[in-house]
């Protein structure tokens, strides 16, 4: 099992969080030509992985917006939401984590990344299980 963070701000102005949640998916808006690496990362996601939607405003740091479990490892191109995998969203809200200063914050600004910080992994799992203590 792995944990992945996904940005939902397409083009710097369109927040797709609600669309991802209502459609039960998450993905990257880039084409294969624009970002082969991001789409390759989505192709590597497997059933049972955890996905979270995040924001990363430079002045605040990491914000979690939704957490769910990946249900399919067969990405599809959605004309409005990009290259997506199916997700069952279990938690939605706003949880400000802030800057972790663990040398991975540069990755947290991107469209998709694997989360390796154990504190953020633990928080994502607790939110997923609705154990927000």
> Domain residue spans in the chain?
3-128
Average pLDDT over residues 84-93: 97
pLDDT at 133 > cutoff 60: no
Structural fold of domain 3-128: ph1033 like fold (3.10.590)
Determine the 3-state secondary structure of 112 from DSSP: strand
**What are 42-69's pLDDT values in tens digits?**
999 999 999 999 999 989 999 999 999 9
The pLDDT mean for the chain works out to: 93
Record the pTM: 0.94
| Residue 31 banded pLDDT, cuts 50, 70, 90 | confident
How far is 48 from 84, CA to CA, in rounded Å?
15
């Amino acid at each position: 099992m792995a944990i992945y963070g996904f940005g939902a701000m397409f083009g710097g102005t369109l927040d797709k969080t609600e669309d991802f949640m209502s459609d039960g998916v998450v993905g990257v808006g880039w084409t294969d030509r624009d970002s082969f690496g991001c789409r390759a990362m989505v192709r590597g996601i497997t059933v049972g992985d955890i996905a979270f939607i995040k924001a990363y405003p430079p002045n605040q740091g990491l914000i979690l917006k939704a957490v769910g479990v990946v249900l399919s490892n067969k990405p599809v191109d959605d004309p409005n939401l990009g290259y997506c995998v199916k997700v069952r969203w279990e938690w939605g809200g706003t949880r400000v984590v802030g800057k972790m200063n663990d040398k991975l914050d540069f990755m947290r600004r991107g469209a998709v990344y694997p989360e390796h910080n154990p504190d953020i992994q633990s928080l994502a799992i607790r939110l997923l299980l609705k154990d927000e203590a």
